[in-house]
Structure 1
Amino acid sequence: MMDNTSTNIYVTDVETNEILFMNKAMQKSFEIEKPEGKICWQVLQKGMEGPCPFCPVPGLLKDEDEHPSVVWEEENTRTGITYKNYDSFMQWTDGRTVHFQQSVDHTTTRQLEKAAATDELTELLNRRAGKLALDHTLSQAKRDKIRVIVGMYDVNDLKEVNDTYGHAEGDVLLKTIARNIKECLAPQDYTFRLSGDEFIIVFKDTDLTASKEKVRRARERIQLFKEKHQKLYEMNFCCGYEEVEPDDQRTITEILTNVDEKMYEKKRLFHIQKAEEKYQKEGEKQGRTKTFSYDKEHLYDALVQSTDDYIYVCNMKTNTFRYSKAMVEEFDLPGEVIENAAAVWGARVHDLDKKAFLESNQEITDGRTDCHSVEYRARNRKGEWVWMRCRGHLERDESGEPTLFAGIITNLGKKNKIDHLTGLFNKFEFEEEIERLISTKPDQPIGIMILGIDEFKRINDLYNRSFGDEVIRIISQKIQTFLPPDATVYRMDGDEFGIILRNGTVHGLENIYGKIYQAVNHQQEFNGKKFYCTLSAGCTLYPLDGKTYLDLIKYAGYSLEYAKNKGKNQIAFFSEDILIGKTRQLDLTELLRESVEQGFENFEVYYQLQVNADTRKIKGAEALARWKCEKYGQVPPDQFIPILEESGLIIPVGKWIFEQALGACARWIKKDPDFVISVNLSYVQLEDAGFIDFMERTVLSSGVPPANVVVEMTESYIASNINRVEGIFDRIRSFGMKIAMDDFGTGYSSLGILKKIPADIVKIDRIFVKDVQTSHFDLTFIKFIVELCHDVGIEVCLEGVETEGEYEAVKPHAVDFIQGYLFGRPVPGSIFKEQNFS
């Protein structure tokens, strides 16, 4: 039987290292005839003068386990092939204990792994492999108590080179810079490509000065290359650095964000310098005019009409001020032209601010300064105190005497009504206008709509908050475009907008939403970056749904939440059902909080069996949360888990579930050492900076090997947070735990996600199983995914197998594991133990 297998197998005496048996496949690989009786290290290795220093036999002899075994890899010195070795002891034909090894050729796998970790253009580590290496470096530096310098360099003018000389030259630029930096690094240092023209350098156990010196040498080499090959474009880069001390508690993401900011400080200086050089080179031709004339008589009027601020001008020879008409009306001044204005205006300034106001004006009068800037409170014609900001500048004549004093007074109270990002009125104006309409026109119906950008956080995570602000601004402009004359839009908190429709009806609100829906329901682009975002809407009508602002805005918010929970990208009108559902949700929130505060009372962890698809033998279990309460009885997970996530209670509950699951696993692996526990992670838990640390501590304290723990994340969360998840995957894998992608196939980019950040296990959703006996598509999909995953070393678990017919349909397609009612429903731990370990 051993001669019929393609893997290498041989047996040796544990004391003499004499080969007792070698199968034909291994004899052929090592070109050995009649190996029996020969010493293993003499014929299986090259250049050995004694037993191999990496021989597993001494370690196995010391292992106190009843059946010791070890799995390890080696690159064989004789064949050059990388083998994955499985070593253990067995009883030989004469009764003695002998060493048994089975070896599998892993050369191709290792080559593929290397290729998968390498950037094809620059031959540096790629983003995923580089970040994994950086995480390992930082962890090791903490243990060894050494400093790490992390640098980020960004190639200058890559787009300009691509546009002017072609992308082939752009590739030359990237490769030249990357190669020369790599060649100037010490053996322990490395560099990797983070994205298009951005790279990371990592310097170990050194200081900032030495690190910068290596980069300086690289710049010199790059310039020599440029001169030698007569490149017509600049070959340079901007670089920023961040020092990471052994006690630094920042995450990789935080460190990279900080070094990115420092690099871009250099980038801004580069662009400024480049612009100055261009200006010097081209001269001052543009904008050079000998004379410029304009209508000075109407300048003041034009300025007043062009701003909401108040314009003032003072003739310093006569001490006469002119104020804009709007300021005269707002503060009930005696007229636009006022003599002795300091006394007239000063009488309206708050007593606590009068000293600062008068001192600032006196400095101008005395000629001690030519600039004026002061903030103070002034009483308007309604008797209200409003904050003002006054700024001005003094002009002097040829003899140096003050001649003109002019400036701007900003009414900060008025400015605070406007959202600075979008230019829309803000939420305070929204409230004020609704209350005004209700009080002045109580019989007139009002339509109120709250719009929210769906999954806006994903846009911020994909790019940055600055880009997210631009998206909000773009959306606000689109909304304004489609509003009828009797509707106004306001900027609310975060990614939300409010619309007031006078004489509002359901049809009128639906019409507005329909136009906005058509305008945004497609991929958009800004500054070369593509984004896709939809809008959900919640609506109420006055007086049908409420007679006060607070009720109307509350119910509109409930309706928006309902629309988002129902799948987003839709409109919802307030109804009694929405109110009942929200009331129940609020009630459940408080009951869940009580359960948590009372030591997780009424929470329980259930376990659902996972089996080997071929043998039906136990593989492991998925830990599932269950909760009940006296008022509502057993509450389904799809109802209470979203409430836990929204309230933040999922953090303590998730930790409790993880501890319970690991405790159960620790007991059950004593019966079955290969038993694997799977635990779902919520997106809220993954946003908690300390949760990964908690998992690692819990696993270590439980005694469960990390390899026996699988953490599951839904495909939808991974898709929405792909950049952040990449770092989380690296961290979890580096600890030794495995990652499963849950609900696979239900998202819009399943294969794309799998390529960018492959999981260890893919769990195919029940949706592809329920019709598998009649659906050729579902069966083909399962077969395709299994083959694809197996080709790249990913295991596949099929969820939701409930009948023998479904099992028989999928069994021939080599699924690794199965989870479903056919093999076991979720049950409490005590019942699970009784069913599987009695």
Structure 2
Amino acid sequence: MKAYIQDTVRNEEARLNALRDLNLLDTSPSDSFDRLTRLASKLLDAPVSTISLTDRDRQWFKSKVGVDITEIPREQAPCSYAIGDNGIFVVPDLQADPRFVGSPLAQAGIRFYAGAPLFTRQGYGLGTLCVVDEKVRDLDEEGRQVLRDLAGMVMSQIELSNTIGRSDAVTGLPNQHQMFEDIEDLARLHPGDTATALMFELVSQQQSGQGQRVLGSNFTEALVRGGASRLRRNLGNSSRLYHVGPTRLAVLVTPEFGGDIEVLISSLADLLGDPVECDGIPVTPTPAVGSCLFQLGELSPRDVLRRMLNAVEDAMLSDDGRADYSPAHDLRHARSFMLLNEFKAALETPGQLRLDYQPRIDLADGACRGVEALLRWTHPQFGPIPPFDFIPGVEQTALAKPLTEWVARTALAQMAAWRTQGIDLKVSINVSALNLDEPDFAERILDLVRVGGADARMLELEFTESAVARNGTRVVHQLEALRDAEITIAIDDFGSGYSNLSYLQKLPASVLKVDRAFVGELETSERDRTLVRSVIEMAHQLGYRVVAEGIETQETYDLVRSWGCDEGQGYLMARPMTAAKLGEWLLSSAQLPEVA
């Protein structure tokens, strides 16, 4: 008996949740529903007709004909009985039925009641479409069928109203909101069973951008429609398809699927790899697919979506365009996101951030001519945070601007402090690609130099080659303003990014830093030796001073020096160190440059 009561309570809560999810209670009148109540009243010759929704303690009328009230108490209401019956519930005379003799309807003079239950596809009773009359009467089979048909039309209207906002306008496919609901429904039907979620990214970001520039929005629409059509034709009843992003489709493989999931994934990925016609132009997609298995009821729908997103992002970086959800990668992304959120506080809280400095050595005479300023972060809870854990993320956000200002201001202040100690070093700082998109970037840097009282000739700004190559005209104007103020411009990590040598002729830069990935393999790679030697020769012909990064062995040092490389930077000569330790290092190494 106790178990029965508990199940009844749980089922009632689930029913109420389903009712509230539809957002019908206490909403404004709707002509689409009113037409149906008017039709019921007319066809069944009843003065009163309502669409009555059964709330926890009331019957609320979404639509009504022939009555002014909007709700009545649920207790003793015939509709409460009707939703517990799969058939038409008829009471010929309320005043003669012991269940309703004292009900508000009977006391108001109502005698006849007939109601058809409104059930969701999941089997939850929402309420009824009912007709009432002041006369004692019955309802024949034809009348019952009319009421049954009209109730079906009411549910169709409810589903249609609920579909708005849950389907994608381009493909007509359910969107992520519908996917969330479907995952919840599956969890109720198959608690603890295993389901699989797949996410397909149809094209790379680069291909998507190029396609939209040529074909506009038609490119994305045609691509998604084509991909959705292929998937839909090859998914059985045990899998559901959704449109969850501009070029992303998702598939929910339910527990009813009895096949090999790996075979399914491979076959679907192969289908998406065939060319799709976009405005008469065949476009070959580059699909990536991420997958995750999960236990129904153990994850929220949003957590399922997050795992799918993580998996497809990993797939886009993989060689074969495939990836399963990785908890380790998920934790790393979550940590990166957490650090990104806390970095703003680090910028504003003294003591968390500092600059270390790594010497750059003149390979001709072994003297230290300058240093590169390197950002370090000591988190109050997690201790030292490796730069690669936070800098790439910060540089892709609006925090890039205050970060660069903090680094520049701190480095300029250190330059001034060293100057008072008789140390005159050129300091190089790294600048984000986003900084070059700021129209006042050069002006702000020059203001910082003036306020800091520093010598602009002793400041060097390092940009990656991909940053300086992505917007030629704007970049050149910014860099020219900095160069005209005698600030040195350096191209960092050369060889790892844009790799188009033509832009080197146009940029007002004077230093080129060869990427450590090539320098570190010089002892074992003949190709890297040829490449680095050629870069040094070419850069000198274009008027660049060349710096080799990542020198860790004497053999590498000797090689780049023999090829005429101007400067070197690496652990062989010195690791990054605090400003105080750098002063000690300079003195102990007898490499202190003379003050000009």
Q: Shorter-chain TM-score: what band?
A: 0.5 to 0.7
- Does structure 1 retain, via aligned residues, the 8 Å contact 2:360–2:568? yes
Residue 306 of structure 2 corresponds to which residue in structure 1?
Answer: 554
Q: In structure 2, do the counterparts of structure 1 residues 755 and 481 end up closer, same or farther at CA, with 3 Å as the change threshold?
A: farther
2:479–2:508 CA contact under 8 A, matched in 1: no
Alpha-carbon distance between aligned partners in 2 of 1:733 and 1:509, rounded to the nearest angstrom = 56
Shift of 1:752: 5.6
Give the distance between the partners of 2:320 and 2:451, measured in 1 at CA: 45
CA distance in 2, matches of 1:552, 1:333: 44
1:452 deviates by: 4.5
Q: Residues 563, 329 of structure 1: CA spacing in aligned structure 2 closer, same or farther, 3 A cutoff?
A: farther
Aligned to 1:698: 448
Q: Give the 3-state SS of the residue equivalent to 1:827 in structure 2.
A: coil
Residue 578 in structure 1 maps to residue 325 in structure 2:
no
The yes-or-no answer on 1:632 pairing with 2:382 is: yes
Deviation at 1:625, TM superposition (A): 0.7
The 5 Å alignment of 1:375-454 reads: 414=163, 416-442=165-191, 445-452=194-201
1:629/1:329 CA distance change after superposition, 3 Å: same
Distance of 2:476 and 2:207 partners within structure 1: 18
Aligned counterpart for 1:476 among listed residues 189, 214, 224: 224
Alignment of 1:119-518 (within 5 A): 334=39, 414=163, 416-442=165-191, 445-452=194-201, 456=205, 460=209, 469-480=217-228, 482-483=230-231, 484-486=234-236, 487-494=239-246, 496-503=248-255, 506-508=261-263, 510-511=265-266, 514-515=269-270, 518=273
- The 1-side partners of 2:217 and 2:240 are apart by 21
Q: Which amino acid in 2 is paired with 1:607?
A: Y
Q: Is 1:762 aligned to residue 467 of structure 2?
A: no
Change (3 A) 1:554 1:350: farther
Greater relative contact order, per chain length (Cα 8 Å cut-off, separation 6+):
2
d(CA) in 1 for partners of 2:548, 2:211? 34
Q: Counterpart of 1:479 in structure 2: which amino acid?
A: G
Report SS of the residue matched to 1:786: helix
For residues 456 and 583 of structure 1, do their structure 2 counterparts lie closer, same or farther at Cα, with a shift above 3 Å needed?
Answer: closer
**In the superposition, relative to structure 1, how do residues 596 and 508 fare at CA in structure 2: closer, same or farther (>3 Å)?**
farther
Change (3 A) 1:790 1:502: same
Cα distance in structure 2, aligned partners of 1:785 and 1:602: 39
Which residue does 1:114 correspond to in 2? none
Partners of 2:219 and 2:461 lie apart in 1 by 34
The Cα shift of 1:493 comes to 4.2
Residues 452 and 537 in structure 1, CA contact (< 8 A), matched pair in contact too:
yes
Structure 2 CA distance for partners of 1:695 and 1:510, relative to 1, 3 Å: farther
| Deviation at residue 748 of structure 1 after TM alignment | 6.3
Query: Are the counterparts in 2 of residues 449 and 537 from structure 1 also a CA contact under 8 Å?
Result: yes
Please say which of residues 577-586 and 636-645 is displaced more in the overlay: 577-586
Match of 1:620 among 370, 374, 380: 370
Query: Residue by residue, what CA displacement relative to the aligned partner does 1:274-317 show, whole Å, maximum 9, x if unpaired?
Result: xxxxxxxxxxxxxxxxxxxxxxxxxxxxxxxxxxxxxxxxxxxx
User: How far apart, in 2, do the equivalents of 1:624 and 1:812 lie?
Assistant: 28
After superposition, the C-alpha distances for 1:354-399 in whole angstroms (9 at most, x for unaligned) are: xxxxxxxxxxxxxxxxxxxxxxxxxx99999xxxxxxxxxxxxxxx
Q: Percent identity?
A: 24
TM-score, scaled relative to structure 2: 0.62
Amino acid at match of 1:473: E
Question: Cα 1:466–1:809, aligned 2, differ >3 Å: closer, same or farther?
Answer: closer
Q: Structure 1 residues 553 and 747 mapped into 2: Cα distance closer, same or farther (>3 Å)?
A: same
* Equivalence for 1:784: 534
**SS where residue 461 of structure 2 aligns?**
strand
Work out whether residues 428 and 459 of structure 2, in 8 Å CA contact, stay in contact via their aligned partners in 1.
yes
CA change 1:701–1:775 in 2 (3 A) is same
Letter in 2 for 1:499: V
1:408-450 superposed Cα distances (whole Å, 9 cap, x missing partner): xxx7864543333455432222323333333345576432123
For residues 700 and 768 of structure 1, the distance between their equivalents in structure 2, rounded to whole angstroms, comes to 38
359, 379, 383: which one aligns with 1:609: 359
Q: Aligned partners of 1:449 and 1:793: how far apart in 2?
A: 53
**Across the two proteins, how many residue pairs are aligned to each other?**
444
Partner of 2:97: none
Instruction: Name the SS for the 1:492 alignment partner.
Output: strand
Partner of 1:817: 567
CA drift of 1:650 comes to 4.2
- How far the C-alpha of 1:827 sits from its partner, in A, is 0.8
Are 1:828 and 2:578 an aligned pair? yes
Q: Deviations over 1:739-769 (max 9, x none)?
A: 3332222236443654676854322111222
Q: CA offsets, 1:698-718, max 9 Å, x none? A: 123223344433322333455
* Distance (whole Å) between structure 2 residues aligned to residue 638 and residue 562 of structure 1: 18
- Residues 90-147 of structure 1: CA deviation (Å, up to 9, x unaligned): xxxxxxxxxxxxxxxxxxxxxxxxxxxxxxxxxxxxxxxxxxxxxxxxxxxxxxxxxx
Q: Which of 341, 347, 371 is residue 596 of structure 1 equivalent to?
A: 347
In structure 2, the CA distance between the partners of 1:330 and 1:770, relative to structure 1 (3 Å rule), is farther
Give the AA of the match of 1:469.
S
Residues 192 and 297, structure 2, Cα contact 8 Å, conserved in 1: no
Identify the residue that residue 474 of structure 2 maps to in structure 1: 727
Q: 1:614 Cα deviation (Å)?
A: 1.9
Aligned equivalents of 2:569 and 2:191: distance in 1? 60
The aligned runs of 1:613-762 (5 Å cut-off) are 613-645=363-395, 648-668=398-418, 675-687=425-437, 691-717=441-467, 722-723=470-471, 726-736=473-483, 737-747=487-497, 749-751=499-501, 754=504, 759-762=509-512
Cα shift at 1:801 = 1.2
State how far apart, in whole Å, the 2-side matches of 1:806 and 1:757 are.
29
Q: Is the 8 A contact 1:623 1:678 kept in 2?
A: yes
Helix, strand or coil for the counterpart of 2:220? helix
Report the Cα distance in structure 1 between the residues aligned to 2:284 and 2:388, rounded to whole angstroms. Answer: 27
CA contact (8 A) 2:202 2:285 kept: yes
Give the C-alpha shift of residue 731 in structure 1. Answer: 1.2
Displacement after TM superposition at 1:806 (Å)? 0.8
Evaluate the alpha carbon distance shift between residue 597 and residue 735 of structure 1 in structure 2; reply closer, same or farther with a 3 A threshold.
Answer: closer
**Distance apart, 1:684 and its partner CA:** 4.5
> Residues of 1 paired with 2:207 and 2:583: CA distance?
41
| Residues 513 and 571, structure 1, Cα contact 8 Å, conserved in 2 | no
Computed over aligned residues only, the root mean square deviation of the Cα atoms, in angstroms, reads: 4.5
> Are 1:797 and 2:544 counterparts?
no
Alpha-carbon distance in structure 2 between the residues aligned to 1:525 and 1:752: 35
8 Å contact kept, 1:535–1:568? no
Compute the TM-score of the two structures, normalised by the length of structure 1: 0.45
For 1:797 and 1:819, how far apart are their aligned partners in 2? 7
Q: Distance in 1 between matches of 2:204 and 2:505?
A: 23
Work out the CA distance in 1 between the residues paired with 2:534 and 2:281.
Answer: 33
Question: What amino acid sits opposite 1:502 in the alignment?
Answer: T
CA distance in 1 between counterparts of 2:183 and 2:321 reads 24
Long gaps (5+) in structure 2 = 1-31, 44-48, 50-60, 66-117, 121-125, 128-159
SS in 2 for 1:746: coil
Answer yes or no: is the 8 Å Cα contact 1:611–1:617 preserved in 2: yes
Identify if the C-alpha distance between structure 1 residues 682 and 506 changes in structure 2 by more than 3 Å, giving closer, same or farther.
Answer: farther
Residues 421, 469 of structure 1: 8 Å contact kept: no
